[in-house]
Amino acid sequence: MRQIKTARPCGIIRGMHSLATSVRALTFDVFGTVVDWRRSVIAEGQALGARTGLQADWAALADAWRKGYFASMAKVARGELAWDTIDALHRQVLDHLLPRFGLQSLGEADRAHFNTVWHRLAPWPDTVDGLTRLKQRLTITTLSNGNLSLLVAMAKHGGLPWDAVLTAELFGRFKPDPAVYLGAARLLGLAPEQVLMVAAHPFDLVAAQKVGLKTAYIPRPEEYGPGGPMEAVGDAVFDIVATDLVDLARQLGA
């Protein structure tokens, strides 16, 4: 993922009125778009530290873990690593990182539990309200690289009212592979242009757009913490730009 510190969210709103009638389903990126992974990982890390007496820079660990997740998926995409679930890839990355953060003494049970922090990520404050409104009029589903069991656990934990849980795992490829977006549209029984991909990350939206999906960009400027980096939008143009999921619902008349 390209991250450019100075990038500001921008984009052009186009075709919104027709979208509100033509779009039938919304597919949501999850990590960062729907849930605040960084704050949740830091909070559980701090609680783990308090309980075990181990000290670490939990924010830096969270960022390194997330970076390692992207690197692992890229290795899978290049064929350097066998396909595996995100739970498994997260665990490999975590085991690799712990010594660097002075946490090599962490036992198996604590490692296994901490690894599932990704099942317990907190929604952004607008998420549940926005999804609940959108669900009244449209089909709402995940379209995440997270594995299905992770996404189901997260939905139960955070009260996310998905109509369906779609994931890269169903297609054996990770986003931004086109097979994931097209596979989701096929399972939903829709043409690509009837599906709106919703994400905080331009790379995800651009990939969806290339195979015909409509796109909604929801910048999450605090995904990497206050003042943290955001991926550059560059010259990408999205169908909708919304400040959060409640704003998205409003723009779609839901």
* Contact footprint for a copy of itself (CB under 8 A): 85, 87, 139, 141, 147-150, 152, 155-156, 163-165, 169-170, 187-190
Taking the complex as a whole, the smallest distance from the CB of residue 74 to a copy of itself amounts, in Å, to 24
Taking the complex as a whole, the smallest distance from the CB of residue 128 to a copy of itself amounts, in Å, to 15
Taking the complex as a whole, the smallest distance from the CB of residue 94 to a copy of itself amounts, in Å, to 17
Nearer to a copy of itself, 127 or 167 (CB): 167
Taking the complex as a whole, the smallest distance from the CB of residue 185 to a copy of itself amounts, in Å, to 10
Nearer to a copy of itself, 24 or 67 (CB): 24
DSSP secondary-structure letter at 31? Answer: B
Nearer to a copy of itself, 149 or 243 (CB): 149
CA-wise closest residue to 140 among 160, 163, 159, 123: 163
Nearer to a copy of itself, 128 or 164 (CB): 164
Nearer to a copy of itself, 1 or 152 (CB): 152
| Residue environment code for 219-245, b if the CB has 16+ CB neighbours within 10 A, otherwise e | bbeebbeeeebbbbbeebbbbbbbebb
CA distance 239 to 246: 17
Nearer to a copy of itself, 23 or 42 (CB): 23
Cβ neighbours of 64 (radius 10 Å): 17
Nearer to a copy of itself, 214 or 220 (CB): 214
Residue 178 tokens read as 């086109």
CA distance 204 to 198: 9
DSSP secondary-structure letter at 195? Answer: E
Cβ neighbours of 50 (radius 10 Å): 10
Taking the complex as a whole, the smallest distance from the CB of residue 21 to a copy of itself amounts, in Å, to 18
String of DSSP letters for 155-194: HHHHT---SEEEEGGGTTS-TTSHHHHHHHHHHTT--GGG
| Burial of residue 54 (number of CB atoms within 10 Å: 0-12, 13-18, 19+) | middle
Taking the complex as a whole, the smallest distance from the CB of residue 151 to a copy of itself amounts, in Å, to 8
Taking the complex as a whole, the smallest distance from the CB of residue 195 to a copy of itself amounts, in Å, to 12
